Chains A and B, each alone.
Chain A
């Protein structure tokens, strides 16, 4: 029983990271109906930027905030430069651009920081187990960071006029323009936010999985699974789905499939959701059959 509880808590800790990235994916999906396959690589790049700042001697939290800001700008720029001209392009062209972006960012990180695995610091030093031995300091700390971030995002979207405008632009771009919302910029801000969220997810997962250019591939997979599980049209669902996937991954890894097949578990979740409840647990059925 102790073991199960431990697995669940530690699953929630990593689940928070999946939840963040799932939220980033869903934010872009809601506004554009496209899945950003480069979301993981962009987060990896952000983490490398943080790594460079920390190794240059900056304090962790200064680096953290600077990285979030830089990533936000990066997301905005990518939307303005790469995505904007593609507004009315067919899906295949968009997927092509996402994959191109993935390749470029992946190559860039490998080129600049080489492909060797690096350790990434955690700001939560305590190696002594907390909560009666259930969680490590980093697990607890990263969960807190994730929850604070999710809360901030929730407050932003619920209680600020800019957040409202961003939601409006995603739901109904035509009506949004008619009340004076600059829809194009809302999309760019969405990309910026998604990149910033991804950056936090990257910095929180890096101490666990170590830093290398392909670090986020697996995390992105769990985020896909989480987003689908919760409903890809529903941000809250995606967050819950992300946490759920973290727990399923940990329990499954510990008791069912073993750690070697953890990624396959994500694939199984994706396929199972599509077979059983394609709109996700909290989603509306809006998909077309064709």
Chain B
């Protein structure tokens, strides 16, 4: 399979502080790839770099095109859905309006159908449809964020710590749904996680990021089964 996203020697900095020191990785078409790492390793920055939200050096190739240096809006309009760090909920708007914004750039007729599919994944969103999104629980906001990103009909979905700050049961639910989404949607996924166990179960390929450098890369299943690796790097 050809790579949908290919990142080569990517560097990124906030002001004077370098966060990424030249990382390279690929996301294959139709697969789930995960970036693992501790807090501050540069996972979120990597996703932001892909979406043109930080200043970067290096190459980002997506669907045969160089997208580094493009404005966030233009990256997104190339069908890259981003579930950001902190979920990015429009707190003042309703669930309905949040979802409509997800489909903002689309003019095709499939939007209605896609709304129904989202309700199928996340029945909660249907119950809360007319409510202000600020009143949703953390888990519900995470669901809303995923639905919002999927409503773009993305070719590539970037997920920033979908488990962050959620109760274990809800995390399990969300990862179950992500598993379904992997099966049912035609989307490649790049998921960033601290919870390595869950992410490795979902992914086919994994990279381990440590203070802005990739230290391990390989088949997700292999990493999952390699006890020494798990113990020394992933801590479980």
Contacts and interface: CB of A to CB of B under 8 A. Distances in A.
Interface of A: 161, 164-165, 167-168, 171-172, 174-183
A178 B84 contact: yes
B76 interface: yes
A172 B91 CA distance: 9
Contacts of A177: 51, 53, 71-73, 76
Please report whether the interface of chain A is mostly helix, strand, loop or mixed according to DSSP.
Answer: helix
Given A165-B104, A179-B101, A180-B77, 11 more contacts: A164-B93, A164-B97, A167-B93, A172-B91, A174-B53, A174-B88, A175-B89, A177-B71, A177-B73, A178-B82, A183-B73
Interface residues of B, number: 24
A176 B100 CA distance: 12
A167 B100 CA distance: 13
Contact of A179 (B53, B91, B92, B102): B102
A249 to B, nearest CB: 31
Contacts of B53: 174, 177
Please report whether the interface of chain B is mostly helix, strand, loop or mixed according to DSSP.
Answer: loop
B101 A181 contact: yes
B93 A168 contact: yes
Contacts, number: 62
Interface of B: 51, 53, 71-73, 76-77, 82, 84, 88-93, 97, 100-102, 104-105, 148-149, 152
A164 B77 CA distance: 18
Contact of A171 (B71, B90, B152): B90
Contacts of B72: 177-178
A264 B100 CA distance: 46
B90 A161 contact: no
Contacts of A181: 73, 101, 104
